[in-house]
Amino acid sequence: MLKKLTSEQQECIIEAGIEEFADRGFEKASIKNIAKNAGISVGVLYKYYKNKDDFFNACLEESLKVLIGKLEEFLEGDMTPRERVKKIFTAVIEFSHEHPKAVKMYHEITSGSFSPKARELAKRIEEISSDTYRAYMKALKEVGLLRPGVDEKAAAFFFDNLLVIMQFSYSVDYFDERRKIYLSDLYDDDEALIEQMVTLVDGALLGR
């Protein structure tokens, strides 16, 4: 009889999977390595997940839960647009520090190694954030806070682009080095960088 894995063991398996997919992509990711790093056998892993696709989907869903939580926090509370933008940028940087492999897996998904699944994954991942940001920009426009002439859909797209690059800049070697080259003395100052980003977005979208 199969011994039921504890919640801690299941979490360990998912973390090992995220790390493997982040470092090696989908095709090269090894279920054997994942099982070894999680301290279980391949047979046990396949008792819980039908195949590699099924296991990858579980890893992705776990990462998306965190994303959804951050987006819900973004919309909570009564605050100014500037305060809300600062909140989401702060959350993105904190998440990148705490879960760099999840961000790296997201980056890997955008690369060629996931090309057969790219469009399907884009819909699953991006529609969550796009719905949130488009609704937020529309709300700003309706109360006259969005800069005149700025389309709310375009505003949401460019806003999310900034957030995506920010994530990669804290988790992916190339983008991290790029951040260091551009920012110099601001490289290690998260608080100052957030203030600069908020000022930029505030001026670009709200015209202030």
The DSSP line for 15-42 is: HHHHHHHHHHHHHH--HHHHHHHHTS-H
Q: Buried b / exposed e across 133-170, counting CB within 10 Å, b at 16+?
A: bbebbeebbeeeebeeebebeebbeebbebbbebbbbb
Angle (CA) 8-14-17 rounded to 5° is 140
Cα gap 87→75, rounded to integer Å? 10
Residue 182: the pLDDT is 96
**Among 117-126, 139-148, 167-176, where is mean pLDDT lowest?**
117-126
Cα gap 95→167, rounded to integer Å? 8
Cα gap 132→134, rounded to integer Å? 6
Average pLDDT over residues 157-186: 94
Letter for the amino acid at 198? Answer: V
**What's the mean pLDDT when you consider all of the chain?**
89
Domain boundaries, the chain: 62-206
Task: Look up tokens 């992916």; give the residue.
Answer: 172
The DSSP line for 48-97 is: H-SSHHHHHHHHHHHHHHHHHHHHHHHH-S---HHHHHHHHHHHHHHHHH
77-106 residue pLDDT tens:
888 888 999 999 999 999 999 899 999 999
The backbone region for 39, taken as left when phi is positive above 0, alpha when psi lies in -120 to 50, beta otherwise, is: left
What CATH fold (topology level) applies to the domain 62-206?
Tetracycline Repressor; domain 2 (1.10.357)
Residue 114: the pLDDT is 72
Q: How far is CA 85 from CA 17, 35, 82, 118, 206, in A?
A: 32, 40, 5, 29, 11
Q: With 60 as the cut, is the pLDDT of residue 2 above it?
A: no
Share of the chain above pLDDT 70, in %: 96
Residue 208: the pLDDT is 57
Average pLDDT over residues 189-196: 94
Share of the chain above pLDDT 90, in %: 52
125-150 residue pLDDT tens:
898 889 999 999 999 999 999 999 99
Judge contact between 45 and 13, C-beta under 8 A.
yes
Token pair of 110 as six digits: 């955008």
Higher pLDDT, 166 or 119: 166
When pLDDT is cut at 50, 70 and 90, the band that residue 10 belongs to is: confident
Residue 70: the pLDDT is 80
Token pair of 129 as six digits: 């954030």
Q: With 90 as the cut, is the pLDDT of residue 160 above it?
A: yes
100-114 residue pLDDT tens:
999 999 998 887 667
Letter for the amino acid at 205? Answer: L
Residue 110: the pLDDT is 86
Residue 207: the pLDDT is 66
33-66 residue pLDDT tens:
999 999 888 988 988 899 999 999 999 998 888 8
